[in-house]
Amino acid sequence: MTPLRLGPADAGEILTLQRAAYVPEARAHNAFDLPPLVETLDQLKAAIDQPACFAWGTREAGRLVASVRIVADGEVGRVGRLVVAPDRQGHGLGSALLRAAEAVMPSEVTVFRLFTGELSVGPLRMYPKLGYVETHRTPELHYEVVHFEKPRVRSGDAVR
């Protein structure tokens, strides 16, 4: 799979997808002020227009069904906003998109980091399968944020 590079022109679709995908997370964590739910269209456009931000997506019949952002911060790729349309979740789109996006990041990126809420069942199952290891947890108001990291695997590298 080759990820589709997204830009400011895709921001409206990304925002719609992001909100639809994050509502179940907000319910699970009883936190309806999660950044992906309160981010404005202008904020999203500005974020994905930054040179260090790489926004990727997957389309099916023209419809944006998955997206992710990775910000290149020196050697670290900060993964965020990995979302899949609710009716397409559980079909491997998020995993495939994340793997493809990691593979096309600038060569300076040698490690990927991301986080999710402690009650995010799907992501907590998926990230370890993709090679991410939990590094620590940080408290939020009434739940914990689970932080993950993995070294970049390049073609020819052994997967451990």
Pairwise CA distance, residues 153 & 159, whole Å: 7
Query: Percent of the chain, pLDDT > 90?
Result: 89
The model's confidence at residue 70, banded by pLDDT at 50, 70 and 90, is very high
**For the domain 4-151, what is the CATH code?**
3.40.630.30
What digits encode the pLDDT tens for the residues 94-118?
999 999 999 999 999 999 999 999 9
The reported pTM is 0.91
The model's confidence at residue 76, banded by pLDDT at 50, 70 and 90, is very high
Pairwise CA distance, residues 27 & 46, whole Å: 27
**According to DSSP H, which parts of the chain are helical?**
11-29, 35-38, 41-48, 93-103, 121-129
Is it the case that residue 155 has pLDDT exceeding 70? no
The residues near 17 (Cβ < 8 Å, ≥ 6 apart) are: 64, 65, 66, 67, 83, 85
The model's confidence at residue 141, banded by pLDDT at 50, 70 and 90, is confident
The residues near 139 (Cβ < 8 Å, ≥ 6 apart) are: 145
What digits encode the pLDDT tens for the residues 36-53?
999 999 999 999 999 999
N residues, the chain? 160
Q: What is the pLDDT of residue 153?
A: 83
